Amino acid sequence: MVDFGGWDMPVEYPSSGGLMKEHLAVRTGVGMFDVSHMGDILIRGPQALDATQWISMNDASRLQEGQAHYSALLYPEGTFVDDVIVHKLGQNDYLLVINAGTREKDYGWVKKNVARFHCHADDVGDYYTQIAIQGPKAEATLQKLTNASLPAIKNYWFTHATVCGLPNTLIARTGYTAEDGFEIYVPSDVATSERVWNEVAEAGKEFGIVPCGLGARNTLRLEGRMALYGHEISDSINVWEAGLDRFCKMEKPDFIGRAALARAKAAGLKRTLVGLEAVDRGIPRDGYRVFDQAGSEIGYVTSGSYAPFLKKNIALAYLPPQHSELGHEVFVEIRGQKVKCKVVPTPFYKRPKRS
């Protein structure tokens, strides 16, 4: 167990057979994650939309009820407070799902910045146990436990239905694994949480479901090039550098960070997030330094690991744009050795289209 944003969490489940088996279960069958550490902030009131628009970079006005999208809370500098998933629960009702490690900071920041709008923000994280069911067999697993028609829920949409006998449960087709899957939000009391967890495990048994820890969660999201706060995004990295342009809507009404982002765009990129694959033997890891052919230090690895499904050593790294073209060779310093890597397309892994 490790401390993760104040939560005692398993890196892997020995009963599952470890990280690698957990990772592969999600890619080929189904895995389940206790992600109750994720925080939840509700923004409610007649001006909930205006408030959400002001504090987040994606265009929440495009959301329909029952729809969610990836977005981020930004500082005036255009750097990240956190990344979030915004759910439109109702006309005046938005749910922001945030990271554990940034919960207090996020809530304080949201509260302060929505104060001038006619709405209120509440930290409701403690009310929910959040369970992620992920993998090609996630739908078949969860369908056994709910009266909702899961095939009707599109990616990044959600519904409320009965799950494990619990009425009005939020079921979202979202996740952090680059795989199809769902996240359900159930009451956080121990008895209910345990019961639902066990029922999901039972329902997924025929598909070989395994509980998955933080380790697999990290390698799965890395293969899918999904950002992790403190790594690919932080208070010193801006939206353009992180390559999250398509989630940032400059043409929507003004939002915190917009002016700085406009200036940053005009000034041009100094560094950009690229995918690397090790050519020589070695695993590039978080924080390792990156060098060019001539031996000059040009950047650093934000996340790197052996990729269990791709069976390659991969990394995300911040490099100057002139070193970012595909096939370009750079060197990651691993224990004093310069290990040759090449720039490759991301995401490293893309799930096959649903048939």
Partner 1 sequence: MAYPKDYKYTKEHEWIQVNGKNATVGITDHAQESLGDIVFVELPKVGAQLQAGKSFGTVESVKAVSDLFAPASGKVTAVNDSLNNSPENVNKDAHGAWMIKLELSNPAEVNGLLSADDYEKYVAEEK
Binding site for partner 1 (CB under 8 A): 11-12, 18-20, 215, 219, 281-283, 285, 305-306, 308, 313, 335
Length of the chain: 355
Q: How far is CA 169 from CA 39, 45, 258, in A?
A: 17, 22, 35
CB of 307 to partner 1, least distance (A): 9
DSSP 8-state symbol, 252: S
Q: Which helix (H) or strand (E) holds 19?
A: helix 19-28
CB of 306 closer than 8 Å to CB of 218: no
CB of 325 to partner 1, least distance (A): 28
Quick one: 112 or 281, whose CB is closer to partner 1?
281
CB of 334 to partner 1, least distance (A): 9
Quick one: 174 or 313, whose CB is closer to partner 1?
313
CB of 33 closer than 8 Å to CB of 137: no
Quick one: 134 or 313, whose CB is closer to partner 1?
313
Q: Can you tell me the distance from the alpha carbon of 340 to that of 333, in angstroms, rounded to the nearest whole number?
A: 9
Q: Can you tell me the distance from the alpha carbon of 162 to that of 147, in angstroms, rounded to the nearest whole number?
A: 6
Q: How far is CA 60 from CA 50, 71, 325, in A?
A: 9, 9, 33
Shortest CA distance to 223 belongs to which of 24, 21, 17, 1?
A: 24
CB of 39 to partner 1, least distance (A): 24
Quick one: 140 or 283, whose CB is closer to partner 1?
283
Does residue 347 have a cis peptide bond before it, meaning omega lies within 30 degrees of 0?
A: yes
Shortest CA distance to 318 belongs to which of 340, 301, 305?
A: 301
CB of 3 to partner 1, least distance (A): 15
CB of 232 to partner 1, least distance (A): 19
Quick one: 145 or 316, whose CB is closer to partner 1?
316
Please give the structure tokens belonging to residue 257.
Answer: 């960070």
Shortest CA distance to 173 belongs to which of 142, 215, 206?
A: 142
Quick one: 208 or 320, whose CB is closer to partner 1?
208
Quick one: 109 or 349, whose CB is closer to partner 1?
349
CB of 282 to partner 1, least distance (A): 7
